[in-house]
Structure 1
Amino acid sequence: MKRDKLFQSFLLISGIIVLIGTPAKGEEVRENGIVQPSTQTVGKVLENNFVVKDVQSKSPVSVSSSGKPRQFQSQIANSLSPVKSDKPSKNIPQLSEIERPATSAAMLVQAGATPTNSPNPAPRNVSPEQRGQHRGTVLITGVKANPTDKGLEVILETTQKDQLQVVNRSTGNNFIADITGGQLRLPSPDAFTFRSEKPLAGIIEITVTNVDANTVRVTVVGEKALPVVELFDDNVGLVFGVGRSATMTQPETPQTTKKPATQTQQDKPAAQQDNPIELVVTGKQDGYRVPDANTGTRLDIPLLETPASIGVITRELIDDTTPKRGEDLIPFIPGVSRGSEADDNQGGNVPEFTIRGFSVARQIYINGLRDSRRFVIRDLANVDRIEILKGLSSLLYGTGAPGGVVNYITKKPQATSSNNITFQAGSFNSYRGEVDFTGPLNTEKTLLYRFVGAAQDADSFYDNVEDNRLLIASTLTWLTGNGGSITLEGDYFQQELNFNSGIKFFKNKFLYDRSYVDPRDRSQRDNYRVSTYIDQPLTKNWSINLSGQYIDINRDLDIFSAAVFNQDRLRFITRPLTESYTQGDLKAELRGNFKIGASEHKQLVGFEYNTFKADTILNISNLIVGSIDPLNPVFNEPLPNFNLGNQFYSNKQYGIYIQDFMKLGQFRVLAGLRYGSFKSKFKPANPTIVETNAQTTFISPTVGLVYNFTDSASVYASFSRSTEPNDGRRADGSLLEPKTATQYEIGTKVNLLNNQLSITGALFDLTQTNIAEPDPNNPDFSILVGEVRSRGLELQAAGKVTDNLSLIAAYTLLDTKINKNSEGLHGNTFINSPSNSLGIYAKYNFTKGALRGLSLSSGLIYVSERQGDSANSFEVPSYVRVDLGAAYTVNHLIFRLGIENLFDTRYVVSVGNAANVLQGSPLAVTGSVSIKF
């Protein structure tokens, strides 16, 4: 793909999308920071958190006389009973009707004061679970913000406000109010987080988000001072009155100069307008930490209460590190490493994740649906986060490798307009552009859109290797009411990525900084994907979720892979290859909440059906040609004559599963069972090779137990079993039984620093049996003799150490062994499985003074020695890599600079054998500029 044509088409499409997606009506941004919308309110860029003022009497922000203030307690108290309104009003209180409070939240917190006039004194040392156990969790079904003459009102809509308890604290310019006994359930694609950026002058950000299964947190970030905030009860729910820092913290100055009438009219705030400011719906969490991820259970269960090890790569980490592919970030997730698909001769053209020693290239998912059976390197422009479930996953995901699954979560449409354009350039002639537009398509904000596009033209430190991409992704969401939604996604992805077997291990050394890619090598793929997601409540406690997708992939390759050693010479595997893949997925799930006696249950019942077909035109057999010197490669071998044939592969599988999550006191129990069926057919291109068919049924159980010591600490234990089909037959013609795996795992999870930092640890023991190996008496058939084992320790810390310092760190201790093998490999270590690995990434945000808007970051990656092949015939040395990053935000612009491999270390990322070694990038610099509007 030529660079000029690629970018021209990309910019043309982007321009059309901007014109289509821009609402017909305009917006007026007033000097006071409040947007006067005709269709919507646009949020601005944010960096910090927020703080609220506490009051005992009247407030500078307005409420009506019918709504009574609820007093904030200091952090010393654990709960606060509501002050009910004597005369409930159907109208939302107006902030303009109250005068300045006598006592601020900052003063209360600093003094450790506790109001003495509360009719129900707050009990101490009582957990949110205990406080709400007899009442159940209160649902907060809406969040709005109404402008007033002195600020705005943030309204948390609920019909059971009296059951909620509020405790506040402050840090710097940040006000934080934790509301226990409640959960956000909003009618939006992300029902658990709301955000408003720069809603008014002096306020950087307001967020409302779930902290855990029983707590909602309201955070207000003041720009220069602690904002004034007052809490009121109203018949619509809880109302937080927020005033501007500048007007609330400075004494009023008498007006000495009379303004002209026209100027006075222009300066009048939008307090009288009824149009609400809706908070921006985003999935952003606390830096590199997320409290919830549903890949492990597909239920709304906090990670703290999930009996499994789940790692999450957040969008913030993706933005800070600017990776080329998802595998570049896995050093920061324990138990996960970069794999190698050398045995499949895919030359870096497939995902290369290894979890707990097992390749999971066929266990890649997108929004919970299987993603193209390996053949797509997903571009990260349209990715919101990556969730990695470690360990067995057959209960929810059917057949597959025992290591786990990797689930890409795409970006979703938002109810508030936001536009982002990024231009990036870097080492090795790398150029890239991205656009990300989102917002409503109607004034009611029930029809939302998102368009993401990316175009890339990049060379590599390998000669004759390019990575050119074009991504166009569009999403529409219809909010049907009552919490229901219908989402339609479509994307097109084109990639030109050469087939690259990497550097070589030759005569006891690695031949770094060499390329063995023939200039005639060519690889292009076109990927089309359409998917839909329907989420519809049936009753108050039950809902149904339907999802499906169709994928069409076309690959066109001319492969020249120097991937075979013949004594001291390298030979090429060469073949033309044209492939067409189609894939269909359907999934239906019924989810419900109910009680049995003292126990609370979340239940999931599901059905899943998958089909996959691949038609391939290729040479009947690999042609091994040429002979080059590994120390001085010269590519001048003539092309051979190809004898082309048609190869066909298909598989179908379905599964029925049930899962129950029970809460009983401080215990949590997760149990589930899946019945599945798998059927495959393989017809090789060579007519002399017999067609093979495989069919198997299986049952996969999973059981997990969690004990919550406190609201922020738990321990868990789990047992699970998985199944993976074996291809091939025995000599007597019978089908091979599937590979089976069993895992035992125990772990602990702790949230520290007011739930801003999560610490997790896990011990696991995983064994896979029934591994097929060639029959020694008839190599065309197979026998089941293999057994492998993986066990280890995983530790991770993720979140914020302070309000300014974000951190993610991962350590893995891994012990892998081949227990049974007929080829003399008994006792050997898995290929490409380091015994020790460590990844740390930290970022510091400057929020005050001359450096305000600047962030500095650094990463460190350590990987110990690994075995280079299954025979353990050579070892890959350990390495340490250091990265640096910086970002500067000014107005609507974000400038980023990243340095990968600061000390220009030569190292190996992954290895398949001596002729398939992936070298890590030498020193590389990337810079970008983004504009948000």
Structure 2
Amino acid sequence: MFSAIVVCRAIGHKYQILVAIGAISILAVKPAQADSLERIQDIIHPPTSAALLAQNGFTVVQVTGVQVNPTDKGIEVILQTLLGEQLQITNRSVANNFIVDIPNAQLRLASGDSTFRSEKPIAGIAEIAVTNFDANTIRVTVTGEAGIPVVELFDSPEEGLIFSVTSTVAATPSQPSTQDNDTIELVVTGEQDGYRVPNATTATRTDTPLRDIPGSIQVIPRRVLEDQKTTRLQDALENVSGVRKEGNYGGTSAGGYNIRGFAQDGNFRNGFSDNDFYSLVDPANIERIEVLKGPASVLFGQAEPGGIINVVTKQPLGTPYYSAEFNLGNYAFYRFSFDLSGPLTDHDLLLYRLNLAYQNSGSFRDYNFLERVFVAPVVTWNISDRTSLTFDLEYQNNNYLFDRGLPSLGDRPAPIPISRFIGLPHVYDDSTLRIGYRFEHEFSQDWQLRNAFSFVSGKSSGTYAYGGYELIDDQFAPIYVSRDEFTRDIYTLQTELVGRFNTGSIVHQPLIGVELRRNVWNYTSFDVADPILLDIFNPNYDVELPATPDESTFAYTTRRDTLGIYIQDQITFADNFKVLLGGRFDAFYRRDDFGTLEEESLTAFTPRVGIVYQPILPISLYASYTQSFQPDRFFGRSAATNEPFEPTEGTQYEVGIKADFSEQIAATLAAFEITKSNVLTPDPNDPDISIQVGEQRSRGIELDIGGEILPGWNIIASYTYTDAITSKDNNIPVGNRLINVPEHAASLWTTYELQSGDLKGLGFGLGLYYVGDRFADLENTSVLPSYFRTDSAVYYRQDNWRLALNFRNLFNETYYETSQGRNTIYPGAPFTVIGSFSIQF
């Protein structure tokens, strides 16, 4: 045995210290077996310590993810970081434990956990644990079952330096190693993050490997957003199976998303209900996007059964980091963004991050434009090695032209140029403010308390003249003039206790949470009664807008309060057999005032159960049963009973298989069926009132693949088959397809970067997107035709800068992205190019 110092300097987001190209491999763990690699030993260097590292100017590196991956030699433990810095390693042996200390690092997992554990990863190894030992040290502990793991050091020309841990069969624990003077030093370089993200937090609210989650969850990392030059959230989500845009409120990137056939009005942000149909999301502060398929009410409360989208934002870094980017494109598009981070005090007591963006752009749509200001500061106070407090704020203001797209004529979008504006030009204003905190405290390595608060406030106002109504004489669009004031506030308080304990050989990871949420909407409009008729074939925009009245013509206030209590247990019965159990009770209160005050109270219970079986390490077979609930958007009562309408309920059955083809690339294949019941439908005896007997059903198959095929060659691809129909209704014909849901859809985005030679750093990207026919309305009276769009990119990266050209809709395909009804259809942009230059310090 010997002590080792391993120093890794990397220019990207991951480090390769020991094995696995493009990743940080700290340990390679394997059971006892012969190996022909030559052992390296007898290299002498002085020992190290945290004090010595600090004296020599090393900074504390934040480790943001931990992976345990199988290799042909055993298992490797990979520590992921955000920035290229230095890592040092010292090791020793105590009892049955082989201990590695990294004295210039801290574990900052996206879930907020400060401990990672892997039980019995292979025969002979009881546990691998990665934890924060103190404020400046990560400790990696490998525990043998029958004795101390014996560590050997190998050198492989193909893989680099390998720590091989061999589990002994000795019944008597070994004594601590005394050979702490023998050391090894190695310097290697690493690569940037790839397209594969092995862990996620959205599905379980804990940092869990995707292969251990009994459900389909897809992650879009920051790297994909940067390679595609994403300026709208919906563009990034085109890479995920089963996700489509649902509406495009006012012609902006606001609106909802259709997941597995069901519309979800709002997104989530860091696990909180964040925005609704009317608010926009800017990509500048996004670290990654996690899409959880299927009902998510157990952890997230009221939601549609198709799934949720959770945006994970950027967090402060422990090392100075500065980046700037400038984008320039056609349609008068330009955008600046800055990302600044680092420590504010010595010893990383206070850390900060600041993201800024400004965007100004025209549009292929006549008269349309968007001007945006965005700022997002975050500060983390590391109170102690076990306690931290993070404050974040995000403010965004948008000025734009309110645009309701194009109408239908017959069973297709009207045959007019997709640039034509069906309305009268006027400026609309929208702003969003997000404020919150996150407090975390570790009672021990196994128990953690989390408390967090989020406040989101959206405000929209302005005068606008909008279409979206049925044509008159197949030629004239009624344009209504209105001035409105619309505010939306969401208050959320969450408290969670996360733990870990054993009952015999069974490992439990419980999560107990309480959530309080209040949504308040206030809407006032000042409407002009008579519409202006606009000829869609020969529009005249030189029309004076009538003055809006001083007195409001319509107003309402609604408040929704929810108390949710939820519990979850991730149970490991064996290394290859895991069970997830969960349930949530919600008490819901609503107070509406549409001129008459109405109140209602409801309760709901939603269960969740799933199993994962792994016949071999790279394969996970899973099955799950989940439910969801969603109260009616506005107050409603049954005319027959005078009782409040029950929430709609969603039930899903899902089976799937997950495959890790290698350490760099993985795939998920899922089959599902979702039934949404208690849907309102007209009473056949009185069409003017509604009853809750409607039902919608969606079933399908989804395939998602992401990762690195070869060094420098990345891919993210998907295929979706969805059969989403109205299965029961008194008005809509049974069998009608649900709005905006194609039966078939597929996507492919891939990049390749030259790895050597004079053109090293030159890269190319190609995107192919197919979307089948969809219906613009539930009545299936208007069809959005299928389309095949091609995107591409070329870039050159050297050291700390990157120059790129991104082309969207390369062949100028005419297509329609989404709709909010047969007369509110939003076309996709024709050929678009964005040039960008980014630099990091």
TM-score, reference length from structure 2: 0.82
| SS across alignment from 1:829 | coil
Which residue matches 1:744? 653
1:667–1:307 distance in 2 versus 1, CA, 3 Å: same
Asked if 1:242 is matched to 2:186, the reply is yes
Asked if 1:319 is matched to 2:226, the reply is yes
1:781–1:697 distance in 2 versus 1, CA, 3 Å: same
1:580 Cα deviation (Å)? 2.4
Which residue matches 1:850? 758
RMSD: 3.6
Asked if 1:633 is matched to 2:633, the reply is no
**Structure 1 contact 156–238 (Cα < 8 Å) conserved:** no
Which residue matches 1:829? 737
1:914–1:181 distance in 2 versus 1, CA, 3 Å: farther
**Structure 2 contact 45–181 (Cα < 8 Å) conserved:** no
1:821–1:415 distance in 2 versus 1, CA, 3 Å: same
**Structure 1 contact 357–403 (Cα < 8 Å) conserved:** yes
The residue type equivalent to 1:524 in the other structure is: D
1:468 Cα deviation (Å)? 1.0
**Structure 2 contact 102–139 (Cα < 8 Å) conserved:** no
1:180 Cα deviation (Å)? 7.9
Distance 1:419 1:403 in 2: 39
| SS across alignment from 2:737 | coil
1:240 Cα deviation (Å)? 6.3
The residue type equivalent to 1:577 in the other structure is: D
Q: Number of residues paired by the alignment?
A: 750
Q: Could you say which structure has the higher strand fraction? A: 2
**Structure 2 contact 134–385 (Cα < 8 Å) conserved:** no
Which residue matches 1:113? none
1:887 Cα deviation (Å)? 1.9
**Structure 1 contact 563–573 (Cα < 8 Å) conserved:** no
**Structure 1 contact 468–495 (Cα < 8 Å) conserved:** yes
Asked if 1:131 is matched to 2:123, the reply is yes
The residue type equivalent to 1:447 in the other structure is: L
**Structure 2 contact 11–799 (Cα < 8 Å) conserved:** no
**Structure 2 contact 639–690 (Cα < 8 Å) conserved:** yes
The residue type equivalent to 1:668 in the other structure is: K
Which residue matches 1:354? 258
Distance 1:607 1:235 in 2: 50
Distance 2:808 2:153 in 1: 41
Asked if 1:809 is matched to 2:753, the reply is no
1:537 Cα deviation (Å)? 0.5
| SS across alignment from 1:425 | strand
1:484 Cα deviation (Å)? 2.9
Deviations 1:290-335 (A, max 9, x none): 1100101112321101001101111000000112211112221111
The residue type equivalent to 1:389 in the other structure is: L
Asked if 1:551 is matched to 2:456, the reply is yes
Deviations 1:247-291 (A, max 9, x none): xxxxxxxxxxxxxxxxxxxxxxxxxxxxxxxx9xxxx98511111
Which residue matches 2:139? 157
1:438-587 aligned within 5 A = 438-507=341-410, 508=412, 509-564=414-469, 565-568=471-474, 569-587=476-494
Deviations 1:516-555 (A, max 9, x none): 2545322112222111011111122111111101222221
1:637–1:914 distance in 2 versus 1, CA, 3 Å: farther
Which residue matches 2:45? 62
The residue type equivalent to 1:833 in the other structure is: V
Which residue matches 1:593? 500
Which residue matches 2:580? 670
1:921 Cα deviation (Å)? 0.9
**Structure 1 contact 474–491 (Cα < 8 Å) conserved:** yes
1:46–1:667 distance in 2 versus 1, CA, 3 Å: closer
Which residue matches 1:697? 603
| SS across alignment from 2:425 | coil
1:722 Cα deviation (Å)? 1.1
1:445–1:767 distance in 2 versus 1, CA, 3 Å: same
Which residue matches 1:654? 563
Deviations 1:70-104 (A, max 9, x none): xxxx9764379x9977999999999xxxxxxxxxx
1:346–1:460 distance in 2 versus 1, CA, 3 Å: closer
**Structure 1 contact 439–450 (Cα < 8 Å) conserved:** yes
Q: Could you say which structure has the higher helix fraction? A: 1
The residue type equivalent to 2:228 in the other structure is: T
**Structure 1 contact 811–839 (Cα < 8 Å) conserved:** yes
1:751–1:439 distance in 2 versus 1, CA, 3 Å: same
1:714-729 aligned within 5 A = 714-726=620-632, 727-729=635-637
Structure number, greater radius of gyration: 1
1:561 Cα deviation (Å)? 1.2
**Structure 2 contact 91–100 (Cα < 8 Å) conserved:** no
1:728–1:238 distance in 2 versus 1, CA, 3 Å: farther
**Structure 2 contact 92–180 (Cα < 8 Å) conserved:** no
Deviations 1:579-619 (A, max 9, x none): 22222110000000000111101000000000111222213
Which residue matches 2:31? none
Distance 2:629 2:519 in 1: 18
1:787 corresponds, among 679, 695, 702, to 695
Distance 1:473 1:634 in 2: 42
1:225-240 aligned within 5 A = none
1:506 Cα deviation (Å)? 2.3
| SS across alignment from 1:401 | coil
Which residue matches 1:867? 775
1:89–1:457 distance in 2 versus 1, CA, 3 Å: closer
1:169 Cα deviation (Å)? 9.5
1:750–1:626 distance in 2 versus 1, CA, 3 Å: same
Deviations 1:439-488 (A, max 9, x none): 01112112110010000111111112111111111001122333432111
Deviates more, 1:571-580 or 1:755-764: 571-580
Which residue matches 2:612? 706
| SS across alignment from 1:319 | helix
Deviates more, 1:809-818 or 1:159-168: 159-168
Deviations 1:20-45 (A, max 9, x none): xxxxxxxxxxxxxx99xxxxx99745
The residue type equivalent to 1:677 in the other structure is: A
1:735 corresponds, among 617, 641, 644, to 644
